[in-house]
A and B are shown apart, each in its own frame.
Chain A
Amino acid sequence: MNAETDARALPAGRIRKFPAGGLWAPAPHDFLPPEREARAFWRLRARAAATVLRQMLLHCRFRLILVVVLSAMLWGALFWLALDGFQFIRAGIGHAPTHDQVIRAVFGTFFGALMVMLVFSSGIILYGSLFQSRETAFLLSQPARTQRVFLHKFQEAVLLSSWGFVLLGSPILLAYGIVAEAPWYYFVLLLPFLVAFIYVPAAGGALVCLAIVYWIPAARLKVLLLGVAALLGLAAWTAWQVVAGPEGDLLTPAWFQEMLCRLSFAEGRLLPSWWLSSGLLEATDGDWSQSVLFLALMTSNALMGRHLALTAAGHLYRPAYSALHGQGQRRRRRKPGMPRFDALLLALLAPIPLPMRLLALKDLRVFRRDPVQWSQFLIFFGLLVLYFVNIRRLSYDMYYVGWVNMVSFLNLAVVGLLMSTFTTRFIYPMLSLEARRYWALGLMPISRDAVLWSKFFFALGGTTIPCCALVLLSDTMLGVTLLVILCHQLTCLILCVGLAGIAVGLGARLPNLREHSPSRIAAGFGGTLTLVASTLYILLVVLLTAVPMHFYLATHASRVMETLRGSVGFDIWLLWWLGAGTLGSLALGAAATAIPLAIGIRAFRRLEF
């Protein structure tokens, strides 16, 4: 077995370019020392990050500015909200121990919820990067240490999963420090506390991810879905327990006591979220030694978590990778013939020309057979249903009709924004992806316009049905009048037609033919522009209808306004305003649909593939 013989010699006349002989032995150079290996990985990351930044500054300034401005606005809004909230609590609760108890409960619940989310997000990100990326397949074929490859991806996962936490957590903690007039070291300790805190759930997520793929690679998705379902169920149950209070006793001492009692689950002494809130509250109170003690506790646990994850990766990562990639692709055979639902849909859409219907049906099939596409949408849809169903538990109906109307229009705007993320994420990239596959569609006897219109009808159907249903649910739970329901349904229709027009039109005008991934296409300049245009459009349409409706309903509910109505023909003026608002939103909807579609059709006709 070990006897080795030289094989056939080089054919005569060929130039020998490899150094001859002796090179069959392993190279004399040794393995890279761990610290040099770490530096090589950091250099790799730094170079790639510098290139991305340089490219963004050169080619995606609009997107970069938009991200920075929107993040700053979100940060500022959160800071202002938190500042106001903490001042309200400070002013409202004079009794110091109760005040501390409330803050502890608020921090405990907030950081506890973020901790659970960080476990999931880091676990899911790590699963994708450790087991599904082509980069890890490349790195694992190199003589790099397995733990280094894991650590490289773990650090990325920590960064990716925690930026949202920093964006949400930092304004709140900063606002608290200002309101509580905390000493300087509170602000100094904030960052180390946050970093140490992030590491603990991230290590937990990594351990869970490795364990699931190592022990049950075949059932990993089922376990993940069960975990997400359990988490959502737990969140819904907790929210129910917290908000399901007796109506009419809001902000009374008894209400506070009950709420604190219900939030006590977040104050387990073994929870890192409790260490974080306790450490920061000790710093606020001027007890820096206790605060540093909590920081030391958190840091040691973070380091232990990291060490455990690294040790586990050393033993489990490669076998888990091999086990996962040993799972064959399961072929799902479908019944021959058209499914009943598809046949029904084709029949229902009979007024639309057949080629467009068939194209829209093809898009629907692709969409529903790709869970990655619809699962995110379904989660947000489900959360909104959960919120709307529980609107009455949130005691909105104790207020006057103006509040109910305002909440109903805010709900409409939220549903519109959800639909705009759907059209940006799924509809906008469709024409780019279709253009990449144009060898298939382009050879068929259908016009390019028909391709574009099919996308429009698909987008319209895909947004109108859930949008109208969600808003109807919200209106029913809020108990608004039939006039408001009709107004909302009309607004929904205007919104959906416009959103479909914007997404399809800009998708055709600004296609990205280089990218394969819909999410990357959506994240580019065209996708960002679609999202911004859609958001502005939603705000304008909702404001045009909501403001006159608000005043119209307010005058009918308030006695003071009734006097005003009777005196100067105010009612007629309000009806005119309501009519003008509706006409305005209709005109805006027509413009938002026709202009982008016309631009898109012209561009798509001229597009070369």
Chain B
Amino acid sequence: MIQFADVARSYDGKVAVDGLTLEVRRGELFALLGPNGAGKTTTLKMLVGLLRPDCGELRICGREVVDDRRHAARSIGYVPDEPFLYEKLTGREFLAFVAEMRGLDRSAARRRIDRETARFRLAPFLDDLTETYSHGMKQRVVFASAVLHDPPVLVIDEPMVGLDPWSVRMVKDLLREAAAAGRTVFMSTHTLSVAEEIADRIGIFHRGRLHFLGTVDELRQVRRSHDASLEALFLELTEEEAGPV
């Protein structure tokens, strides 16, 4: 579903993503982990077409992201790290706009909005202006907009930031359910416990390179620490790669 083939991207001569080759399968929940500035957000922005790779090839559902952007974009539901909503629209108006952009006709749009309203419990505030929403409310509306068109791929940057415990549980369930229903979920997160709990595979990204790719159990085997938490393994791996200060 998602294929990175030797993808690289640099900022002002500084390499942010260095020759990333990765394939994420259908129905898989993949978590990209890494310290600040590792290149995770750059990777996600290339995936959704906001940034272009300097070299390499990136495909979603077989569509090249740069050359066939609109088809690729149609297959994606994207939740950025900072949710954007039009302040002077209500949540329902925003969802209606996204539904129309995604090519849904009016009746289909209404059905999907009702479905997501129930799933994300948006009803109490959906008809208020979004400028009055808390961060968690905004995040829930953005999640709803990302899954409105039943995309085969979900790309999510830091899904748990600012969410209350109920919303965290709900998002975790949503992501697992999406993967179980055949969607591919590609998320980047600092919340290692969430990755450990729900991800099928993880990738540990550091200084633009993928240092580990596999399941958490495989990481334990590689590190020969059978009882260690993902947090301990992650810190060990990234400190090793960082070298002595």
Contacts and interface: CB of A to CB of B under 8 A. Distances in A.
Interface of A: 1-2, 4-11, 14-27, 29-32, 36-37, 40, 43-44, 47-48, 51-52, 55, 134-135, 137-138, 140-145, 218, 318-319, 321-322, 325-328, 330
B61 A26 contact: yes
A325 B100 CA distance: 28
A11 B175 CA distance: 12
A1 B3 contact: yes
B150 interface: yes
**B-side interface size class:** 35 or more
A130 to B, nearest CB: 13
B97 A44 contact: yes
A374 to B, nearest CB: 26
Interface string B163-188: 00000000001101111111110000
Interface string B124-162: 000001000000000000000000011110000000000
Contact of B27 (A6, A26, A47): A6
Given A4-B1, A4-B26, A27-B103, A18 B149 contact: no
A23 B152 CA distance: 6
Chain A binding surface SS class:
loop
Given A24-B27, A321-B50, A327-B11, A9 B180 contact: yes
Interface string B18-44: 000001011111000000000000000
Interface string B68-92: 0111011110101010101011000
Contact of B149 (A7, A16, A27, A51): A27
Given A47-B89, A142-B98, A322-B50, A328 B11 contact: yes
B52 interface: yes
B176 A10 contact: yes
Given A14-B176, A32-B100, A40-B101, A24 B182 contact: yes
Contacts of A137: 50, 80, 84
A245 B66 CA distance: 60
B74 A18 contact: no
A325 B119 CA distance: 35
A319 B89 CA distance: 30
Nearest to A22: B182
A326 B46 CA distance: 11
A143 B180 contact: no
Contacts of A8: 27-29, 179, 200
Nearest to A218: B12
14 contacts: A1-B23, A6-B27, A7-B29, A7-B200, A17-B173, A17-B177, A26-B71, A29-B149, A48-B86, A52-B88, A134-B82, A135-B84, A137-B50, A330-B12
Interface of B: 1, 3, 9-12, 14, 23, 25-29, 45, 48-52, 61-62, 69-71, 73-76, 78, 80, 82, 84, 86, 88-89, 93, 97-98, 100-105, 108, 119, 129, 149-152, 173-174, 176-184, 200
Going nearest first, the 4 A-B pairs with the smallest beta carbon separation are: A10-B180, A18-B181, A7-B28, A328-B11
Residue among A47, A134, A142 facing the most chain B CB atoms (10 A cut-off): A142
Contacts of B151: 27
B176 A143 contact: no
Contact of B102 (A29, A52, A140, A325): A29
Given A7-B27, A140-B50, A145 B182 contact: no
Nearest to A29: B103
A137 B78 CA distance: 11
B181 A141 contact: no
A23 B150 contact: yes
B63 to A, nearest CB: 8
B137 to A, nearest CB: 15
Given A134-B82, A137-B84, A6 B102 contact: no
A26 B68 CA distance: 14
A84 to B, nearest CB: 42
Contacts of B184: 24
A24 B75 CA distance: 9
A23 B9 contact: no
Nearest to B73: A143
Given A7-B26, A32-B101, A142-B101, A21 B182 contact: yes
B25 A5 contact: yes
Given A2-B62, A52-B88, A326 B10 contact: yes
B128 to A, nearest CB: 11
A311 B9 CA distance: 27
Nearest to B180: A10
Contacts of A7: 25-29, 179, 200
Nearest to A326: B11
Given A6-B182, A7-B28, A17-B119, A138 B84 contact: yes
A17 B172 CA distance: 13
Contacts of B14: 328
Contact of A51 (B25, B89, B152, B180): B89
B48 to A, nearest CB: 5
Contacts of B61: 24-26
B164 to A, nearest CB: 20
A51 B179 CA distance: 39
Given A327-B11, A328-B14, A51 B88 contact: yes
Given A7-B27, A17-B119, A17-B177, A48 B88 contact: yes
Given A21-B181, A24-B1, A141 B26 contact: no
B74 A26 contact: yes
A47 to B, nearest CB: 6
Contacts of B45: 325
A144 B98 CA distance: 10
